[in-house]
Structure 1
Amino acid sequence: MSNNTEALNYDPADPDKMKLPAGTKCGDCRHIYRCKAIFGHTETDTYCDWSPSRFVAQEASND
């Protein structure tokens, strides 16, 4: 069992939990390619079409 916990994505102004965490955009999410194909999202979008949001930050690349 993991002890990792994440802050809940809860904002009373966004009851469907569609907004991304503050300061992030769809292009920062690991799922951007899937959402571009399914929903037509762009890297600059700030909301998620999955409810609740499935935003997962991308791992930093070591290029």
Structure 2
Amino acid sequence: MTKNQKYEAKLKAQGLKKTTVWLPEELEPELKELLEFFKNNKHCDPVLVARNRETNKFTKIS
């Protein structure tokens, strides 16, 4: 087993799943921070809400 395979197996054992996601470059820092938060705070649930950049109003994600 390679070093990377051991690392991935360790994370998988923690209940994590490896995923590739394409996202807008300008949102990467915020999304990384959110994902890290939920990774470390499994007792929290994400609230699916987004803010419209044009109107500054929140929109519920179905």
Higher RCO, 1 or 2 (CA under 8 Å, sep at least 6)? Answer: 1
Greater share of residues in helix:
2
Q: TM-score, normalised by structure 2?
A: 0.21
Greater share of residues in strand:
2
Q: TM-score, normalised by structure 1?
A: 0.21
The structure that has the greater radius of gyration is: 2
